[in-house]
């Protein structure tokens, strides 16, 4: 294989060119870097580059793996690898592993550390250069100061367009961001749901100075249930109360009312018992014969409550074990949002059915994320808006 390969001195100049102002990423980086430096030293050239080791990062971000060799680690994570122990095969596998590690680095330590080492652009051209360097994709973006500190986090279906809006806005906040920002990094998500979840998690983890408003809860109203004296399950929209467990949550009262009107019709429920028609007698729908009479005890509670329970189970996913499948970051890839026993576990990306059908591999692919009221709201509201989304039942 090496008989017709070029000698090191023949490719040395190209290696210098393509690695200039970069960080070398390798699996067991100390070994590869030592070999490169040794070969360059033989040519009388001092080769110096910053390095990142995916072995060390994996031990930190994916702990408790039985082995951290490239072959066994990628196999455990369901990462496809071809041409094992050949340069291209190992390199492509390392790229996919590194992308997964960047996903799992919720505090963005890898990115912030690398920015501290980058040469800075001239002040007068930096905003234009930043915009031109960004893609028009769905994802989460991070605005950094010169020392790498994250000052603002956002999400967009078109990152380049959104950053351009930040840089051309004239509000007091926008001007302060424009003065302080030195660079913008981004994380491709493919799926808007993944972007929403990652944005929420990143803001809570990093607490950027210009994200104060978004640190608060993202919903204001919720849907609750109670059983009245006649035995009927009543539904009511109210301000979100952390002491009570909601069926689902909403960004505002109007979106909650819109939801209830459509579901009342879909499940043939009583307007009085869903809180949409205040009356001491029958509801409006009863007068036009589209309510079966639960409001005046004509329909028996057991029959009526079965339909209400269907609505609750559809929108609460309590105790459900499901994977929501959405768009991936590239062709052939899919995003997976894992929910176990009704608890949001995290998000990940996969390209092989083996990864989604094997629960042990799936859990390794998933980046663990916090389950809180905001994430529950984000998932439920997204599912309401995207009814054709593929959902796999793990049971």
What's 295's DSSP letter?
G
Residue-level pLDDT at 216: 59
Q: Which CATH class is domain 8-104?
A: alpha beta
Q: What does the alpha-carbon distance between residue 354 and residue 373 come to, in Å, rounded to a whole number?
A: 31
CA–CA distance, 79 with 71 (Å, rounded to integer): 9
What six digits make up the tokens of 150? 């994250």
For residue 80, the model assigns a pLDDT of 78
Tell me the C-alpha distance between 316 and 195, whole Å: 22
Buried b (16+ CB within 10 A) or exposed e, 104-133: bbbebebbbeebeebeeeeeeebbeebbee
Yes or no: domain 110-215 corresponds to CATH 3.50.50.60: no
pLDDT of residue 11: 93
pLDDT of residue 2: 81
Please state, for a pLDDT cut of 70, what percent of the chain lies above it.
96
Domain boundaries, the chain: 8-104, 110-215, 221-316, 322-393
Q: Exposed, middle or buried, 291 (CB in 10 Å: 0-12/13-18/19+)?
A: buried
Report the C-alpha gap between 148 and 110 in whole angstroms: 10
pLDDT band of 187, cuts 50, 70, 90:
very high
pLDDT mean across residues, the chain: 88
Amino acid 121: pLDDT: 41
Q: What is the pLDDT of residues 114-147, one digit of tens each?
A: 776 655 444 346 788 888 889 999 999 999 999 9
The backbone torsions φ and ψ at residue 377, rounded to the nearest 5 degrees and listed phi first, read -65, -45
Nearest in space to 351 (alpha carbons), one of 81, 55, 65, 158 = 81
The pLDDT tens digits of the residues spanning 208-248 come to 999 876 555 678 899 999 999 999 999 999 998 878 888 99
Q: Looking at residue 123, what is its pLDDT?
A: 37
Chain segment 4-26, per-residue pLDDT in tens:
889 999 999 999 999 998 899 99
CA–CA distance, 103 with 80 (Å, rounded to integer): 18
Q: What is the mean pLDDT of the segment spanning 276-286?
A: 90
- According to the model, what pLDDT value does residue 274 have? 94
Lowest-pLDDT choice from 43-47, 207-211, 353-357: 353-357
Higher pLDDT, 314 or 180: 180
Torsion sign, CA atoms 84, 85, 90, 93: positive
* Lowest-confidence region among 40-49, 208-217, 332-341: 208-217
pLDDT of residue 83 exceeding 80, the answer is: no
Q: How far is residue 298's CA from residue 284's CA, in Å, rounded to a whole number?
A: 15
Predicted pLDDT at 304: 95
d(CA 194, CA 187): 11
Instruction: Tell me phi and psi for residue 348, to 5 degrees.
Output: -160, 180
Q: Give the angle subtended at the CA of 194 by the CAs of 192 and 199, to the nearest 5°.
A: 95
pLDDT > 80? residue 290: yes
Alpha carbon distances (Å) from 309 to 241, 244, 285, 302, 379: 22, 18, 20, 10, 20
What pLDDT is recorded for position 81? Answer: 78
Bridge partner residues of 153 (DSSP) = 142
pLDDT confidence tier of residue 364, bands split at 50, 70 and 90:
confident
Average pLDDT of 299-313?
Answer: 93
Model pLDDT, residue 309: 93
Query: 368-392, pLDDT tens digit by residue?
Result: 999 888 898 899 889 988 888 999 9
């Amino acid at each position: 294989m090496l008989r017709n390969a070029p000698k090191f001195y023949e490719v040395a100049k190209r290696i210098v060119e393509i690695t200039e102002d970069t960080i070398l990423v390798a699996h067991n980086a100390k070994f590869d870097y030592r070999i490169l430096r040794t070969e360059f030293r033989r040519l009388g050239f001092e080769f110096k580059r910053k390095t990142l080791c995916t072995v060390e990062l994996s031990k930190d971000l994916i702990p408790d793996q039985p082995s951290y060799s490239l072959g066994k680690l990628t196999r455990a994570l369901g990462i496809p690898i071809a041409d094992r122990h050949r340069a291209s095969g190992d390199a492509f596998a390392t790229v996919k592993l590194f992308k997964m590690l960047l996903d799992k680095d919720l505090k963005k330590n890898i990115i912030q550390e690398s920015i501290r080492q980058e040469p800075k652009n001239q002040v007068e051209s930096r905003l234009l250069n930043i915009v031109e360097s960004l893609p028009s994709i769905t994802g989460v973006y991070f605005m950094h100061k010169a020392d790498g500190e994250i000052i603002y986090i956002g999400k967009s279906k078109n990152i380049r367009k959104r950053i351009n809006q930040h840089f051309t806005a004239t509000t007091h906040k926008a001007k302060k961001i424009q003065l302080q920002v030195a660079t913008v990094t981004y994380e491709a998500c493919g799926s808007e749901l993944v972007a929403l979840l990652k944005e929420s998690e990143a803001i809570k983890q990093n607490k950027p100075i210009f994200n104060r408003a978004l640190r608060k809860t993202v919903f204001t109203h919720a849907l609750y249930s109670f059983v009245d004296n006649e035995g009927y399950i009543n539904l009511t929209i109210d301000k979100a109360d952390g002491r009570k467990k909601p069926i689902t949550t909403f960004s505002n009262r109007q979106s909650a009312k819109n939801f209830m009107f459509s579901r009342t019709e879909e499940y043939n429920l009583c307007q009085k018992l869903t809180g949409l028609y205040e009356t001491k007698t029958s509801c409006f729908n009863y007068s036009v014969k589209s309510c079966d009479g639960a409001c005046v005890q004509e329909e028996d509670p057991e029959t009526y409550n079965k339909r209400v329970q269907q609505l609750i189970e559809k929108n609460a996913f309590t105790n459900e074990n499901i994977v929501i499948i959405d768009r991936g970051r590239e062709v052939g890839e899919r995003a997976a949002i894992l929910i176990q026993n009704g608890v949001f576990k995290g998000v990940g990306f996969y390209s092989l059915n083996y990864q989604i059908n094997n629960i042990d591999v799936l859990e390794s692919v998933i980046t663990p994320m916090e389950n809180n009221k905001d994430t529950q709201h984000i998932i439920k509201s997204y599912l309401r808006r995207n009814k054709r989304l593929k959902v796999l039942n793990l049971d």
